[in-house]
Structure 1
Amino acid sequence: MTTPESQVAPPDRNRLAVHTMTTKPLSLAKAAEAYSRRGIPGISVWVEALERMTTASAKQIVDDAGLKVPALVRGGFFCASDSLERGKRIEHNRQLIQTAADLNAEMLVLVVGAEPGVPLNQQRGWVRDGIESILPEAEAANVKLAIEPLHPMYAADKSCINRIAEARVICDQLDHCLVGVAVDVYHVWWDPDLSHQIRLLGEAGRLFGFHICDWRVPTRDLLTDRGLMGDGCIDIPAIRREIEAAGFDGWIEVEIFSEEHWAADQGDYLDKIIQRYDTHS
């Protein structure tokens, strides 16, 4: 007799990627080796992992491990009251686009930034202008620019874009095939309009990235206490079904900030990530 368990399809790991920030204690070289050894095919590289090394060296590490790079994380931070400072940040993003291209990363993820006390709509104008300014470099390098909305708790000082709807406004204004959205369940799971917004992204071809982790209850720290998939209240499989129904067939990227997990044995932690990816995504 066929059991329900035997009817479950085998885990699809060929789309699994892990962010280097998820295994923050590991150097890029050690992370690449550990991911590759466990059959994880993708590594999204945080700029912090590139400190004190050349981009060429980083690319060699990734290539030697046989890994693909879904994304370079993170650019953006366009918001500053001083126009000269905004110009410096735009130039920095131009450099990051080249770094992404050198790593063969598909996209540069943009955490857009925020400045306390400035109206959010004004700041969103800065974001739009900043992205528009770097589009020529993105076109030349064929690197996508993925706006990542952050949870409203970060609206004051990290991101003036907190819902997919606000990211979509900028995408519509710029109307460029290289400008889209990275959907991180940690930041958007609560949105009552989430299903509709995902469908609209899919219809417009602007669904660029999908990041997963879980929201712990209670959450002990709003930045560094994200949970493994299945340890919290987010219905990740349901959101993934909606993402894929909207046409997304890209990487499923595990992005977890966790002091608890950073303090653990990173090999054991990666094994748990794979197990939870199989059972809770």
Structure 2
Amino acid sequence: MSHEPITDLSKLCIHTITTKPWAIEEAAKNFAAAGVKGITVWRDTLAGRDIKKTGDLLRAHDLSIVSLCRGGFFPSIDKTKRQAAIDDNRKAIEEAHQLGTQLIVLVCGADPAQSLEDSRQQIQDGIEAVLPEASAAGVRLAIEPLHPMYADTRSAINTLAQANDMTEAINSPWVGVAVDVYHLWWDPNLEQEIKRCGNNEALFAFHICDWKSPTVDMLNDRGLMGEGCIPLKKIRSWVEATGFDGFREVEIFSTEYWQQDQSQFLQKIITGYKNHA
């Protein structure tokens, strides 16, 4: 059902980090002019701005504010740092509320000075600590598992199974998962774990890009859809089989593309999205 080319942009969302050289006002104007209907806002783009007015500006361009990136980074061997992370996540929830989005994506964090198990417990504790604020603000929290190469500092949640386990343990309608193909495409259990979070109504977000081969930078060399080896249409079919009808969010970290003309890059994103996503 999902192997046909995409013919419209009604479900296309682009992260502000994807077109990093553009200020959020410029991104909003250009996304809207190109027919893009969704935007995910990275918190750094809000610095020095009136967040509520920024949200109004985005909606004035007929853009759905799909989510705010990012919360998380809960673990630390230092109790003071753990509390600072919880406070920052509470701040992110307030920012999401002011912006007018109902979802925060969590890059959960890890501390290489302790075991992954300890980091995971601190992640769960941190999420549970901010749940009262999240539910009061009407903001859902999406645990995003990251590729195992980031298990040292970026995330101790490295498989969708681990994210699903934690979501089920927390057992709140305000906590679910974000499926990012860059981090999960390699997982032999991916189809069944996508089905699992779909059955739990916990599939909150779907992020797309491609894995270039060879990859020259493990953080900032993501590819356009169709430029690498990720079976994007197959994974999309699994996501849509759950009943997920949300946006397909293009999230590309790329030093190469950030150095290019961003208007031309935007057209490449749209072409890749239509033909390969």
TM range (shorter): over 0.9
Corresponding residue for residue 199 of structure 2 = 203
Corresponding residue for residue 70 of structure 1 = 66
- 3-state DSSP class of the match of 1:35? helix
The TM-score, its normalising length taken from structure 2, stands at 0.97
Q: Name which of 11, 14, 20 aligns with 2:10.
A: 14
Corresponding residue for residue 160 of structure 1 = 156
Corresponding residue for residue 4 of structure 1 = none
CA distance in 2, matches of 1:71, 1:8: 27
8 Å CA contact 2:180–2:207 kept in 1: the answer is yes
CA distance in 1, matches of 2:250, 2:5: 21
Q: Tell me, yes or no, if structure 1 residue 44 matches structure 2 residue 40.
A: yes
CA distance in 2, matches of 1:58, 1:160: 33
Q: Name which of 238, 242, 246 aligns with 1:242.
A: 238
- 3-state DSSP class of the match of 1:70? strand
Corresponding residue for residue 126 of structure 1 = 122
Q: CA deviation at 1:9?
A: 6.5
Output aligned runs, 1:1-281, within 5 Å: 11-281=7-277
- 3-state DSSP class of the match of 2:222? coil
Aligned length: 275
CA RMSD, 1 decimal: 1.2
CA distance in 2, matches of 1:169, 1:244: 21
Q: CA deviation at 1:52?
A: 1.9
Residues 10, 108 of structure 1: alpha-carbon distance in 2 compared, 3 angstrom cutoff: closer
Name structure 1 gaps, 5 residues minimum.
Answer: 1-6
Q: CA deviation at 1:8?
A: 5.3
Q: CA deviation at 1:17?
A: 0.3
| Higher RCO (C-alpha 8 Å, min separation 6) | 2
The TM-score, its normalising length taken from structure 1, stands at 0.95
What amino acid is aligned across from residue 15 of structure 1 in structure 2? K
Name structure 2 gaps, 5 residues minimum.
Answer: none
Question: What stretches of structure 1 move > 2 A for 4+ residues in a row?
Answer: 7-10
CA distance in 1, matches of 2:70, 2:103: 10
Q: CA deviation at 1:10?
A: 5.7
What amino acid is aligned across from residue 188 of structure 1 in structure 2? L
What amino acid is aligned across from residue 178 of structure 1 in structure 2? W
CA distance in 1, matches of 2:190, 2:46: 34
CA distance in 2, matches of 1:10, 1:81: 47
